[in-house]
Structure 1
Amino acid sequence: MASLDEQFQQACDARDLPGVVLLASDTTGKFKYEKAFGMKSPGEKIDINATFILASCTKLMTTIAAMQCVERGQIQLDDDVSTVLTELKDIQILTGFNEETNEPTFTPAKNKITLRHLLTHTSGLGYTGMNPLLTRH
């Protein structure tokens, strides 16, 4: 079986992966493994300082961190998260726009958003590009 380095190099050579930067540290934060594979752009190799747009990949890291807080008893899954995320306190729901003034109209949310809602994507928070009202707002 090929080593981890060989597997990543082969995947990049075959263009199964465009590029990868791997870093692993010990509990003190000292890096024990640093490798970069693939190309940043044609003719330019990726180095360990390369940056990537992670987008939804951060959901995994956020979930792990949140569950560690649950394990430590710092928050429970069904707690109202507005105590931590104060911008969610007294949140309102965009219901439309006033036809005369073109101002947005809102209604108060009936339920509080919990950590469980956020982690399971059931909070009711919308994505701007996927909701015509939010796009307009």
Structure 2
Amino acid sequence: MSTLTSALDGVLRRTTEAAGGVPGVVTILTDRQGTIHEGSAGVRAVGSSDAMTPDTILSLFSCTKAITGVALMQCVEDGLVSLDDRADRHVPEISRTQVLDGFDPDGTPRLRPPTTPI
């Protein structure tokens, strides 16, 4: 086991074993060549004895915003996009997006084109 692997596994264990720590954690560290470290520690849920594993399915909910933000900034760093680009430059389908403008008396949604580009 490498020094890096030992150190990272120790961080994961301390994160789950400390008072006020999280029940479980999964991490993966990669670079352009591939996976450097994959680890997990703790349990899948509070009160559970099922161990957290690298392939545990998790509910991310609003965490996807942070993940998307990191991915976007990596694309900016690589010169693939600019923060000033219109979204339809990279995802043409977005130009067909409609905005909810209310509901008809029978409950049918009223849609309209956006007033400004995304």
Output the TM-score relative to the length of structure 2.
Answer: 0.71
Query: By how many angstroms is 1:90 displaced?
Result: 3.7
Measured against aligned partners, the alpha-carbon deviations of 1:11-50 in whole angstroms (never above 9, x if no partner) come to 3123511101222234311x33232210125222222222
2:79 and 2:39 map into 1 onto residues whose CA distance is: 36
In structure 2, the residue matched to 1:111 is: 116
In structure 2, the residue matched to 1:32 is: 36
CA separation of 1:98/1:8 partners in 2, compared to 1, >3 Å: closer, same or farther? Answer: same
Query: By how many angstroms is 1:109 displaced?
Result: 1.4
Query: By how many angstroms is 1:76 displaced?
Result: 2.1
User: How do 1:1-137 and structure 2 match up within 5 A?
Assistant: 3-13=7-17, 14=19, 16-29=21-34, 31-41=35-45, 42-99=48-105, 101-113=106-118
Give the RMSD, CA atoms, in angstroms. Answer: 2.4
Kindly provide the amino acid, as one letter, of the partner of residue 56 in structure 1.
S
Sequence identity, in percent? 32
Q: Which runs of 5+ in 1 are unaligned?
A: 114-137
Output the TM-score relative to the length of structure 1.
Answer: 0.63
In structure 2, the residue matched to 1:123 is: none
Q: Which runs of 5+ in 2 are unaligned?
A: 1-6
Query: By how many angstroms is 1:55 displaced?
Result: 2.0
* Alpha-carbon contact 1:23-1:34 (below 8 Å) kept: yes
